[in-house]
Structure 1
Amino acid sequence: MKKLVYLIFLSLFATISLNAHEIWLELDDKKDEAKLFFGHFDGKQLESGEKFSRIKEGEVYPTELLKEVKKNNNNITYVLNKKGDITIVRTSEPRKARDSEIIENKIAYSKAGRTNTQVVTDFDIIPIEKNSNTFKIVFKNEPIKKSKIRVISPTGWEKTFDSNDKGEFTIHTPWIGKYLIQANFEDETKGEIDGKEYDKTIHAITYTIDVEQGIPWNIKR
C-alpha cells in the first residue's frame, strides 16, 4: 500500500533536468537564522568560494527582522531578531538581454516561510492561510492571472502549476522536506536607475517552504 501511495504521488511531478543554478533561502527556526545558498537545489549541491562570492547580500524584508549579516564560504547568514517569514531582495544593473537589444532591469526575490499572509514586497507569493498549500501570486498587490509556477520537491522532481483568475494556485507536497517555488513576472514599464535606462523589469522569486508531514525523504548535503 505504501508503495502504491508513493507511486501515485510520484506521478504528480514531472522530472526536468535543466542543470540550472538557483539562489534560495532557508530558515533555521532553532537559531533564528536564515541562510542564502547558491547551487543546485534539487541535488542540494552548493557553490562556494569564488563562485559564491559574487552573490550580493541584498535588502531584507521586513526590515525589523534583521539583526546581523554574515557572509560565509558557501552561504550568507541573516541573524534574525525573532522568528518570521523573510525575503531577500537583490537588484542588478540594467543590461542588454542575451538575444535582443532590449535593456532589462532584473530584481531577484528569495523568500522563506509560510506563516505571513500579508504582502511584503512588490512581487510576492503569499499563503492564503498560515501553512497553507494554496498561495496567491501578486504584483503591487494585484493578483497575477495565468502565471506559471514551478515547484521542485525534496526528491528533485518538478511540476508546473498555473494561477487562476484570482492569482491563486495550490501545490502538492507529498514528501517531507523543503520545496522550492519559482515564478517570474515581466513589468513592461520603462525606467531609469543611476542614469541607466531600461525597457522592462524582470521580477524573479524563489520561495522555500518546509513540509513536516508526508513521505520520508532524506538527502544529505
Structure 2
Amino acid sequence: MKTCKLLIITILITFSANKLFAHALWIETNTVGKNGLNHEVKIFYGEYATNEKEKTQKWYSDVKEFSLWLSAPGKEKIKLNTTDKEDHFSAHFTPEKDGVYTLTVVHEAKDLGGTTKYEFSSLAAVTVGKNATINLDEVSNPLKISTNETKVYKTTSNVQVKVILNGKPLVNKQVSVFSPEGWSKEFITDTNGMINFNPIWPGRYVIEASNFVKNSGEHNGKEYKAEWQGATYSFEVSK
C-alpha cells in the first residue's frame, strides 16, 4: 500500500512539473510605434499555442512580481509601472525619437518546481521610424531570443531568429514557434544559434527557447538539483 501511495505522489509531482515546464511568460505589443503616441504593452503567462492565458492570481509562485524594463534609444533603462488586468499585466510608454525600443523581463521564481529552479524571461522590440536590426548584445537577459529585425513581417517571408545564452549562441537546442492559428513547430538551432522559417498565417507569433541543466545548489533555503531557463519573443506578421 505504501508503495502504491508513493507511486501516485510521484506521478502527481511529475505531472505538475511538466505542466509548469510548458508554461511561459511572454510580452505582446505592437511592433511599430510612433513618436508622441502612447504605446501599450501586455504581459501574459500560460501557453500561447492553446490560447491559455492564466489569471494573474494563479501565476506560478511569485512570477507576477516581475519587473518590466524599457530601453529607449540613447537613454538609460527604466522600469515601467504595470497594472494587473486579471489575465495579464498592462504598461504604457511614449516614444520620443526614432529607433528601437526594447522591453525585457527576467524573473527567477521564488519557489522551486520539485527540485528545479525556474527563470522566466521575455523580450519584445518596438521600432519607430525605419526598420532596424536588434542588437542582442545590448540586452542583459541571460537567455534571449529574437528575430533579426524589428518589423512587421509578411506571410511567406523568411524569418531569421537568434538565441543567445550568457553571451554565446545557444547551439543545437530546440526552439518552438507558435502561430496565431494554433499551429506550432519545433526547430533546432545551428552553430550560430539560428533558426529560419516562413510564416504562413498573419497575426502574432511567439517563439520560445529554453535551457535545462542538472546543477545543484541552494535557492531561498531549499536545495535544487536542476535549473530551467525559458525565454520568449513575439512579433507580428501581415498579409
TM-score, reference length from structure 1: 0.72
Where does the alignment leave 5 or more consecutive residues of structure 2 unmatched? Answer: 1-18, 72-76, 127-132, 152-157
Match in the other structure for 2:105:
88
Deviation larger for 63-72 or 53-62: 53-62
Q: TM-score, normalised by structure 2?
A: 0.67
Candidates 149, 159, 169, aligned match of 2:195:
169
Q: Report Cα offsets for 1:26-70 as digits up to 9, x if no partner.
A: 014463221112344235454436435975131234562433221
Q: Is the 8 A contact 2:216 2:224 kept in 1?
A: yes
Change (3 A) 1:194 1:38: closer
**SS of the counterpart of 2:64?**
coil
Give the AA of the match of 1:74. D
CA contact (8 A) 2:177 2:207 kept: yes
Q: 1:193, 1:173 → 2: CA distance?
A: 40
Determine the C-alpha separation between the residues in 2 that align with 1:198 and 1:50: 25
Name 1:76's counterpart in structure 2.
Answer: 89
What CA distance in whole angstroms lies between the structure 2 residues aligned with 1:200 and 1:184?
A: 13
Question: Aligned partners of 1:158, 1:66: CA distance in 2, in Å?
Answer: 32
Q: State how far apart, in whole Å, the 1-side matches of 2:49 and 2:211 are.
A: 23
Name the SS of the counterpart of 1:85 in structure 2. strand
Determine if the alignment matches structure 1 residue 67 to structure 2 residue 74: no
- Which whole-Å CA distance do the structure 2 matches of 1:49 and 1:93 have between them? 16
Matched residues, percent identical?
23
Residue 58 of structure 1 corresponds to 66
CA separation of 1:53 and 1:167: change in aligned 2, threshold 3 A: closer
Q: Relative to 1, partners in 2 of residues 1:77 and 1:49: Cα closer, same or farther, differing over 3 Å?
A: closer
Q: Which protein shows a greater Rg?
A: 2
Q: 1:35 to 1:88 in 2, by over 3 A?
A: same
**Amino acid paired to 1:142:** K
Distance 1:161 1:35 in 2: 26
Is the Cα–Cα contact under 8 Å of residues 125 and 137 in structure 1 kept in the other structure? yes
The answer for the alignment partner of 1:218 in structure 2 is none
Partner amino acid, structure 2, of 1:199: K
Q: Please, what is the CA RMSD of the aligned residues? A: 2.9
Kindly indicate whether the alpha-carbon contact (under 8 Å) linking 2:177 and 2:206 is maintained by their aligned counterparts in 1. yes
* Counterpart residue type for residue 26 of structure 2: W
Aligned partner of residue 173 in structure 1, secondary structure = coil
